[in-house]
Amino acid sequence: MTVSEIKTSGLASKRSEKLGVSGIRLIFENAQRIPDVIRLEFGEPDFDTPQNIKDAAIRAILAGKTKYTSSAGMPELRNAISKKLEQENRIFYDPAKEIIVSAGATSGINLSLLATVDEGDEVLVPNPGWATYVYAVTLVGARPVLYNLDPASGYSFRREIAETLVTKRTKAILINTPSNPMGTVCSKENLQEIAEFAQDHNLMVLSDEVYEKFLYADSRNSDLRHTSIANLPEMKDRTLTINSFSKTYAMTGWRIGYVAANEQIVQALIKILTAANSCISTISQFAALEALNGPQDSIKQMIETYRKRRDLTVSRLNEIQGFSCPMPTGAFYAFPDISRTGLNSFDLAMKILDQAHVATVPGSAFGSLGENHLRIAYANSLENIGLGLDKISKIMN
Ligand SMILES: Cc1ncc(COP(=O)(O)O)c(C=O)c1O
């Protein structure tokens, strides 16, 4: 029986039927049919997990550390996360009461929504934004309400736009910086506007910071840095800071991340996580502990490599007829405007896949404001990026 037959037979829950199929998955599945496809669609680091992290996991297995841990996560890992948040993000979270370990940021977002939002509540979700936010909000029975970011100012938050969307049911706002799919970084001033908006409407803020390390400062923007909104005055108690080891340490398959929030929310998160997962993989927790406590130089090397890839990606994209690509300053995505090609983003992505054998993601997968764009992930080698963009160039020029 296929998925669509199950759907029509009424066996699956109504909740599951509300979830659409993501545009990324459609491209991904079509790309599987093409043996020589070049993958510029996938938001996954192509680097291997650093050896010291793998060794720590192997040591944990050999030492028999393969049992359940406390639902909130191993105390030593929560201590290390707390230290990291204090030193790097300048927020003190009590490791005993204000941190839980989650199965990556995806589960962190789902748990956070379950802990803060009730059925029928409304959650403000960025447009463009990572498609999973809409699904996650829908899954908890709440209503995703898209707030348009402003393309003219580097996709910044505009209070006057968000203000028109607030109702009595608005409970939370999801934010993501550095952003997927645009590769933009929210300034501290803009975060301050979000903070004031959240305070004025008594909203919780779910802050997805998985790309916090992926920043490309240069002479044009030497003051570029990541700010955690929880660090702004009066914001810690209304923010859930969500982060992950997936991108920073090339650990996507280990499924490990964390949520830091006030004690009351963390108590709720623990109850939900206990019901949903019992706890997170002990082996992955030992790996994450080493990721935080071990040498950090692999991150630096990865970021420098991403920077070279970004530069190549953007300069080559701007040589393609009908494409115009601003320089992203964060994450590992380029988001070229393709409106001058005369095609919509889905048709263009399919054309590029069929004729050039390069997988990209149509911007429409990220909300209505993503239309007229493609998302190109430069989490691939310089060789593959060059080859892929050559092939796109050939069919477009
Ligand atoms: C903005 C954003 N948040 C979260 C995730 C998923 O992170 P994790 O692997 O920790 O679930 C992704 C992955 O693409 C992402 O782009």
pLDDT tens-digit series, residues 294-304: 999 999 999 99
Q: Which of 41, 100, 106, 256 maximizes ligand 1 atoms within 8 Å of its Cβ, making it the mutation to test the pocket?
A: 106
Q: What is the pLDDT, as a whole number, of residue 267? A: 98
CA of 106 to the centre of ligand 1 (A): 6
CA of 109 to the centre of ligand 1 (A): 9
Q: Is 345 within 8 Å of 13 (Cβ atoms)? A: no
DSSP code string of 84-121:
HHHHHS-----TTTSEEEESHHHHHHHHHHHHH--TT-
Which residue intervals of the chain bear CATH 3.40.640.10?
67-293
Confidence of residue 17 (pLDDT cuts 50, 70, 90): confident
Give, using CA atoms, the residue closest to atom 13 of ligand 1.
43
Of ligand 1's listed atoms, the one at least distance from the Cα of 179 is 1
pLDDT tens-digit series, residues 72-128: 999 999 999 999 999 999 999 999 999 999 999 999 999 999 999 999 999 999 999
Of ligand 1's listed atoms, the one at least distance from the Cα of 129 is 1
C-alpha distances (whole Å) from 334 to each of 114, 157, 245, 311, 313 are: 32, 19, 22, 10, 7
Is pLDDT at 1 greater than 50 in this prediction?
no
CA of 132 to the centre of ligand 1 (A): 9
DSSP code string of 303-361:
HHHHHHHHHHHHHHHTTSTT-B-----BTTEE--B-GGGSS-HHHHHHHIIIII-EE-E
May I ask the CATH architecture of the domain 3-48+298-396?
A: Alpha-Beta Complex (3.90)
Q: What is the pLDDT, as a whole number, of residue 9? A: 65
Record the tokens describing residue 44, joined without a space: 């996954």
Ligand 1 pocket list (CB less than 6 A) = 43, 104-106, 130, 176, 180, 208, 210, 244, 246, 252, 257
Q: Is 188 within 8 Å of 227 (Cβ atoms)? A: yes
Has this prediction a pTM greater than 0.85? yes
Q: Which fold has domain 67-293?
A: Aspartate Aminotransferase; domain 2 (3.40.640)
Of ligand 1's listed atoms, the one at least distance from the Cα of 109 is 4
Cis before 128? omega within 30: yes
Which residue intervals of the chain bear CATH 3.90.1150.10?
3-48+298-396
